[in-house]
Chains A and B, each alone.
Chain A
């Protein structure tokens, strides 16, 4: 392992198109589909939310997904290399995306660790009926207040140990490579996840009160459609749900074979992701309907999202339902599987970037990436202040990381580099679903407008009052400071020279692809020497 650092000439690849599609679905279907969508839809007008949701999917989600696919497949590299090959000045965008993935990976892993522990707790009803909230915050997380203790270093073993195990599992998957690791994990976990969730939904539907939950979820509130905030939340949700714009889809599509139906695959990925969300909405609200009935209240009184839904509402449902343990094991098991398939896609962005940069083999690169990340993750998130750090990092990296980089990327690619026609042509060359001027308008005009609006809203909200009431010093480190550092470090990294053994300078596979496709040669790659200007058509 340590002796061989030079990579073989050929880029790794998914075994087949179907493996790619399942892996892309595995990445898109994450915790957000299960614990975020149901509540966002419920809050945004119930059944009526379908209209802004589908609009957002068709006019922003799918076009941006195609945009990522086109960049990754055309320039055949990790995010930094793909953007560099598009134009030298675009390279910082790729590093910015890599750093976003670094932040997300550290906290995403801990949620998987919690879910894994709760799968176990569900089987035993460890929390004790009626004690669900107290158990999560006090007994399990041993939560301390950052206002009082600062960032704690007190180790919480019931979180730290499973967290270490999560890292071990994902490191093994990553070391096995794109085909035998990522592809194989998704081929196993995704069908299993779907099956488990279907069983969960069926079981939830038989709970008393389930239909009241579905009634609350699907009853349309048409007046919500007049509220711009509902539309904004639909676009925001679709944007985060599809994992576009932070390097994942660029990286995954660079592992696709040269002649692959990109748009046809993208449509399946996008609709599969939404299909899972609808399924999750049905399962979650059926269960919440039961919870409301059991507590003698309305569904509106128990509806929640995120950590509150997963670690407080669901344990309550598990305690009270007949066969609750099965529901709990299926629900938390689904969170673990959905989380793992997303976490490996996030890590792959970083591993692929370093592989391209250093020209190293997969195993040493994976270890160099994952071990430090695991250490940071353990230090920050297996302590008593984990939840505060996680909450802050998540809120800020979503708004001022993912959303900001997406906005800058579409503006730079569409308006400064004028690459949309070339990307459109690349997609249409090989794809069953042809795209036209409408796609360019959606990516180049609608996406920047919507993303800009969402970003400004986030800025106003986060400046107006301290996020979640955390102290100023804390937010300036883990919130604002982190978000700004991602940009600054991203720009600095783009100035680090690429060595002669890096894939920017030595990539016969890419040269062959350019010749085959009749694209202009790349001025940097070794085997074809050209003196003409940069050849990104």
Chain B
């Protein structure tokens, strides 16, 4: 692989996969509030 191709591959991975990790970290910092709502029905 050429250097530019390698650089672009790394940039793509860092931005997109990094974005995913950042999103997960953000969500983990804001956990769901449990027990505040009625339990939804289970059918069948």
Contact = CB atoms under 8 A, between A and B. Distances in A.
Interface of A: 8, 10-13, 16-17, 21, 46-48, 50, 54, 175-177, 179-180, 211, 214-215, 217-220, 257-261, 264-265, 267-268, 270-272, 274-275, 277-278, 282, 361-363, 432-433
B4 to A, nearest CB: 6
B16 A11 contact: no
Interface in B15-43: 15-17, 19-20, 22-24, 26-27, 29-30, 32-33, 36-38, 40-43
Contacts of A261: 27, 30, 32
Contacts of B36: 259
A257 B15 CA distance: 31
Nearest to A272: B20
A264 B25 CA distance: 10
Given A176-B44, A264-B30, A268-B24, A275 B5 contact: no
Contacts of B12: 47, 50, 218, 278
Contact of A219 (B8, B13, B38, B43): B8
Contacts, number: 114
A258 B44 CA distance: 24
Contacts of A363: 43-44
A172 to B, nearest CB: 11
A264 B26 contact: yes
Contacts of B29: 432
A63 B20 CA distance: 16
A214 B5 contact: yes
Contacts of A277: 16
A16 B23 CA distance: 17
Nearest to B36: A259
Contacts of B38: 10
A261 B2 CA distance: 42
Nearest to A513: B37
Contacts of B43: 8, 12, 177, 361-363
A65 to B, nearest CB: 12
The list of the 8 closest CB pairs from A to B, nearest first, reads A47-B8, A13-B40, A271-B20, A268-B23, A271-B19, A218-B5, A267-B23, A432-B30
A179 B19 CA distance: 28
Contact of A278 (B17, B22, B30): B17
B1 A211 contact: yes
Nearest to A13: B40
A58 to B, nearest CB: 9
Interface of B: 1-2, 4-9, 11-13, 15-17, 19-20, 22-24, 26-27, 29-30, 32-33, 36-38, 40-44
B44 A177 contact: yes
A219 B5 contact: yes
Contacts of B20: 268, 271-272, 274-275
B38 to A, nearest CB: 7
Contacts of B4: 47, 219-220
B1 A8 contact: no
B42 to A, nearest CB: 6
A217 B32 CA distance: 40
Contacts of A179: 40, 42
Contact of B27 (A11, A47, A177, A432): A432
Contact of B37 (A17, A50, A259): A259
Contacts of B16: 54, 271, 274-275, 277-278
Given A218-B5, A274-B16, A180 B42 contact: yes
Contacts of A50: 8, 11-12, 15
Contacts of A12: 40-41, 43
B26 A215 contact: no
A219 B2 contact: yes
Contacts of B17: 275, 278
B33 A259 contact: yes
B23 A271 contact: yes
